[in-house]
Amino acid sequence: MGKLKVGFIGTGNKNKRPDGMGYAMAYQHASGYNALDNCELVACADISEENGQAFAEHNGVSNVYLTHTEMLAKEDLDIVSVCVWPKLHAPMVIDCAVAGVRAIHCEKPMSDTWKAARLMAQECERRGVQLTFNHQRRFGKPFSMARDLAKAGEIGELLRLETACGDIYDYGTHYIDMFGFYNDDFPAKWVMGQIDYRVEKFVFGATVENQAIGYWEYQNGVFGFIATGQGSRGIGADNRLIGTDGIIEVGAPDKVHLRIKRNNSTDWEVIDTAGEHLHGPGYIERAIADLIEALETGREPELSARRALNATEIIFACYESSRRRARVDLPLTIDDNPLVSMVESGELNPKPRS
């Protein structure tokens, strides 16, 4: 069997400092594919010819295109990595699925609306296309070791999961997905949320709140809680797993990546994560290796669209709860992005960014 042919949509500019306009994630995806013997990088598409050429030269890619449609029409690709802004994810993923690729690995968050997120997952499923999203922290030792400690009963029965981050939509998608990772990927039953959006804020072209809280219950009775923006300081850790017999923290104070405190002790026990922190190294490479192995064996990949939908539903349900001023019982039946809709309707009037 020949090598799997890989293409990229959106290369970015690796020379620019990563920020809310872009991280050039295609380069990190490429490193993951290049580390495998059964993948060949053959094509890329970017609206900037300069960026596309630079990516091709850096990664040994043969063919550069200015549009993804031309690339899909001319190349016989097995896998496509989609590394563009969220509002472009759904149409480009669907174009790839219609073109007949076998697998698509897309950056997070899933999409800019709940309808688009559901649609892209639906269209890939009915065409037999493997769709994954880059929630790569599932492959990091601080997170996997926290889950293993919880599964081993080190904190008793899991009761509640807490997280703190900058916003629900862009950063929060990682940590709400981690809740699924810790909790056997159970969907949520209901969600309550409130947001503050007094000043315009955008990440990768997407509107995100200034501050928020969200609270929900999973189908197995475990609860989730998120605080973002200014209120995130009140949590005191990136992730917290609370059980009947103790607590686990990931991303604790003083740059402690993982620690545990059992009910029979007053002290925290710091767990060695073998040099891995909250962002790596090696997470994306492991994620790529997993999706390739899943494609070849037919099993569900760790970063599957099913799991990503669980987190995305909670994200948009938090915004919808703020719009309704009420609890949202799931499944979520809206189509839009409630935060964006509230701005467009004038219900929210944020000040322009300075």
The answer for residues whose C-beta is within 8 angstroms of residue 242's C-beta and 6 or more apart is 155, 158, 159, 160, 161, 162
User: Of 2, 172, 31, which is closest to residue 105 (Cα–Cα)?
Assistant: 31
- What average pLDDT does range 16-42 have in this prediction? 89
Q: Where in the chain is the domain with CATH 3.30.360.10?
A: 138-278+311-345
**What is the value of pTM for the model shown?**
0.96
Asked if the model's pLDDT at residue 343 lies above 90, the reply is yes
Q: Where in the chain is the domain with CATH 3.40.50.720?
A: 4-136+282-304
What is the per-residue pLDDT for 18?
64
User: Of 40, 85, 92, which is closest to residue 68 (Cα–Cα)?
Assistant: 92
Beta bridge partners of 162: 225, 240
Asked if the model's pLDDT at residue 1 lies above 70, the reply is no
Asked if the model's pLDDT at residue 16 lies above 80, the reply is no
CATH level 3 topology of 138-278+311-345: Dihydrodipicolinate Reductase; domain 2 (3.30.360)
CATH level 3 topology of 4-136+282-304: Rossmann fold (3.40.50)
Instruction: Categorize the per-residue pLDDT at 2 as very low, low, confident or very high, splitting at 50, 70 and 90.
Output: confident
Query: Contact at 8 Å (CB) between 232 and 165?
Result: yes
What is the per-residue pLDDT for 197?
98
What is the per-residue pLDDT for 354?
78
Query: Contact at 8 Å (CB) between 167 and 209?
Result: yes
Task: Measure the CA–CA gap between 225 and 194, rounded to whole angstroms.
Answer: 12
Between the alpha carbon of residue 218 and those of residues 154, 191, 246, the distances in Å are 21, 9, 20
**H or E stretch at 130:** strand 130-133
The answer for residues whose C-beta is within 8 angstroms of residue 188's C-beta and 6 or more apart is 216, 217, 218, 219, 224, 310, 313, 314, 317, 330
